[in-house]
Structure 1
Amino acid sequence: MLDPIPARAPQAPFDEFGPRVPLYTPEFAADPHRAYREMRARFGALAPVELAPGIPATLVLGYRTAVRIFNDPERFPADPRAWQEGVPADCPVLPMMQWRPNALRNAGNLHARYRQTNTAGLTGIDRYRLQGTVARVAVSLTNSFCVTGSADLVRDYAFPLAFKVLNHLLGCPADIAGQAAEGMRAIFEGVGAGNGNTLLIDALQRLTLHKRAQPGDDVTTRMLHHPADLTDTEMVHQLATLYGAGIEPQQNLIVNTLLLSLTDDRFGGGVLGGSLSTRDALDEVLFDDPPMANFCISFPRQPILVDDRWLPAHQPVVISMAACNTDPEIRTGQISGNRSHLAWGAGPHACPASSLAYLIAQEAVDQLLDALPEIHLAVPIGELTWRPGPFHRALTALPVTFTPSPPLPEPI
């Protein structure tokens, strides 16, 4: 359990350390692991950071501390409403963090109601059919560039694959899906995030009305028919959660795993030669470069003492899955077969779709490497750039070259 709250007045946290560490800069995006090491050396398991200019937060760097917080939703609830009262409307991270009527941003009975609905929608997915869907999309995308000898695996493969597969699962028409993806990307980037939020909500309102009128064998319809009987507004925000988890993080998981496979001899030879599985490569990425590096945000209702440090009420506490996974107190040299990373979160808010994400990413990686076994990074690894942002770990592009080959037969 976390330390009980003493009767004495809380002390202001981190005052003696000077300016907070910004997580939104290109410099942080270029080498976050160095930043995590430096913060750990200076502050220990908890570090003072800024998520955007003037938006303070506490970043959790310690694995054991993170697990305790994950499993203490009473004192670390996910409801941000008291926090956001003092946040400017144009804050670039507000759309990503603000209260919504969904499982991600609620606690207690409301959280349970929304999570049950989401879980019911996801549980109905036929995994065998999903694997076939991913294979068909992967082959179609690979065929679109295999004769050229080069591609950007972010733009040409990972993003459209995650996008098409999610929209298939949700039963979402292409025009609505394109608007939703545009809105979600702006929210993740923190550039034009307010407009992006408007685009996203409008698209998902259209999807909700469409599926009420034309139900199908899809996640959206199953959620609409769940006994919780969600309103249209509630449905929109469940769908927003699925879009937030199903495109950007899925894309980043695929891309980061492909990068590891193309640049690390242990995996480049192992994945293609069979000595290491794609699942092992995925788990290495989920330890070291998880697609959501800093997230799982909570908002303490009152000041609380954690690891001899006072955390203020209503200020975000952000779990750094990337830093916690590399915490020297728990990290050993053995990653293969190790599933103890925190990339999916833990406790009552743990990701309910982790097994689906594994399936999609593994099939996407396998299909590409099987189709183009002689694929290579087109530029030195030091020339790759990472998109700024406090939450994700996302490459701007992943340019590759390969021996041109004829298109593959499309799976039936």
Structure 2
Amino acid sequence: MTSQAAPGQACPAHHGRKPLYGPEFAADPAATYQALREHGPVAPVELAPGVPASLVVGYSAALDVLRNPSAFPRDPRRWQAKMPPDSPVLPMMMYRPNCLFTDGAQHARLRAVVTDSLARVDANALRAHVERTADRLIARFAGNGEADLLGEYAQLLPLMMFNHLYGCPPALGDRLVAAMRAIFDMVEPERANAELTQCMLELVALKRQRPDQDMPSWMMAHPARLTDEELIHQLILLMGAGTEPEQNLIANGIRLLLADDRFAGNLSGGSLPVEEALDEVLWTDPPMANYSASYPVEDTDFAGVRLPAAEPVVISFAAANNDPALAGQQRSGNRAHLAWSAGVHSCPAQQPARLIASVAMEKILDALPDMRLAVGVDELVWRPGPFHRALAALPVRFTPVAVPVPSDESPGEARWNAQPTPSSSIPAAVTSTPSPPPSPREGRRPWWSSLARLLRGR
């Protein structure tokens, strides 16, 4: 017979720590966060079997950690050295020379490359491309009367956007997508991480030979002079942050609009409260629920808890946003949530991420105004994992409609702002270090088609 812990207590098998993995946590993370609050603003958890951590569940405590990188640095290498190489959380938490896992001057240098390159993406061009991409995807299933809006829409759209932003050939994009999903789902993590790195090596080699108006080319040419290793891991960071969390933001937002009477009641009247729904999701169900790990330099007393040196201190954006101390706050239009993190490591791509999600939601609601969930909201299944808040599927039904497929953009159209935005903190210099020659160019085909086949299992 399996022993059960009393309410609010962790199972003895986890050494007094609440597990943040498995279907039980995925189905009702709020119950776990509520139990963890009995410990105070910081509580003991397991990120995976045998991987202890401290989870910050209080809003004020989370801000204290995020705004104090000197006491809570991001470099995980002392912790990483004690972890088995096949630990399922390593690909998400291992050191990479990018702006997420660095502090101080090194962080400022690496972050400048990201922010300066993102500044070259024109918001109007981005919106237009999201709209065209959304129309293409919707046209594929609008005549069927039913769809899985996760696999056929919310998942594909940000992946296609990143392939476009990265100027990535379709076949290489397929491999990047598969490897990134395996890392988030902690499936064969060593193999997935090796494949992801190899794909980025090939992409960097391609852009060295044929630079274009895309993120890898801009980052190569940045005066910060990234090494190839730094460039690869900056690109991995951007893709990881801009695909899996973005699909979850879109899917969770659509779910809220269809299932919550506060929002669904307005859909038939033509008033689409997308911005309000996004605010609500970012507060209550942020797409990255638990992340932003830091590692105290020495044993530290914090919020009434002794934090061991070099053991992960993970921020629960979901629990902190729903701290009972914040009860009664107006959420619509309130951007004080922690879904984008805070402090010097806050997400540098908040505006484009929000734009992509809002346009995606507006387009699907405009095209399919009588859309409804195909199952009860309580029957929706959430994917296990300690980091994300991710649906496994989002089945819907609607009246079949014919949606015209938009024409391709003009081959000569300038996709983005071609003029660089210089960083005030980085002196001008040559581009980054060279790479081996790229693999042969793929044959031409629609840049989004292979992604669709891959994620539909074809």
TM-score (norm 2): 0.85
8 Å CA contact 1:291–1:394 kept in 2: the answer is: yes
Provide the C-alpha distance between the structure 2 equivalents of 1:92 and 1:271, rounded to a whole number of angstroms.
Answer: 41
Provide the C-alpha distance between the structure 2 equivalents of 1:314 and 1:66, rounded to a whole number of angstroms.
Answer: 18
1:231 maps to 2:219: no
2:427 corresponds to? none
Give the drift of 1:333.
4.6
1:39 maps to 2:44: no
Sort the Cα spacing of 1:249 and 1:272 in 2 relative to 1 into closer, same or farther, 3 A. farther
What residue identity is the alignment partner of 1:265?
D
Q: Identify which of 277, 286, 290 aligns with 1:290.
A: 286
Percentage of matched positions with identical amino acids: 49
1:28 maps to 2:25: yes
2:198 corresponds to? 202
TM-score (norm 1): 0.94
Give the drift of 1:150.
0.5
Q: How does 1:191-340 map to 2 (within 5 A)?
A: 191-270=187-266, 273=269, 277-340=273-336
1:98 corresponds to? 94
Sort the Cα spacing of 1:91 and 1:314 in 2 relative to 1 into closer, same or farther, 3 A. same
SS across alignment from 1:385:
coil
Q: Identify which of 127, 136, 149 aligns with 2:132.
A: 136
1:7 corresponds to? none
8 Å CA contact 2:383–2:390 kept in 1: the answer is: yes
Provide the C-alpha distance between the structure 1 equivalents of 2:340 and 2:251, rounded to a whole number of angstroms.
Answer: 17
8 Å CA contact 1:300–1:312 kept in 2: the answer is: yes
Provide the C-alpha distance between the structure 1 equivalents of 2:337 and 2:158, rounded to a whole number of angstroms.
Answer: 23
Sort the Cα spacing of 1:276 and 1:161 in 2 relative to 1 into closer, same or farther, 3 A. closer
Q: Identify which of 168, 192, 197 aligns with 2:164.
A: 168
Deviates more, 1:129-138 or 1:301-310: 301-310
8 Å CA contact 2:267–2:369 kept in 1: the answer is: no
What per-residue deviation string (whole Å, max 9, x for no partner) do you get for residues 299-341 of structure 1? 1111111112110100000000000000011232521111110
SS across alignment from 2:325:
coil
Gaps of 5+ in 1: 1-14
8 Å CA contact 1:325–1:331 kept in 2: the answer is: no
SS across alignment from 1:310:
strand
1:365 maps to 2:355: no
SS across alignment from 2:54:
strand
Give the drift of 1:271.
5.0
8 Å CA contact 2:182–2:189 kept in 1: the answer is: yes
Q: Identify which of 47, 54, 57 aligns with 1:58.
A: 54
8 Å CA contact 2:136–2:406 kept in 1: the answer is: yes
SS across alignment from 1:318:
strand
Give the drift of 1:409.
4.9
What residue identity is the alignment partner of 1:19?
G
Q: Identify which of 109, 113, 119 aligns with 1:117.
A: 113
8 Å CA contact 2:54–2:314 kept in 1: the answer is: yes
**Length, aligned pairs only:** 396
Give the drift of 1:407.
1.9
Provide runs of 4+ in structure 1 moved above 6 Å. none
Provide the C-alpha distance between the structure 2 equivalents of 1:121 and 1:203, rounded to a whole number of angstroms.
Answer: 21
What residue identity is the alignment partner of 1:184?
M
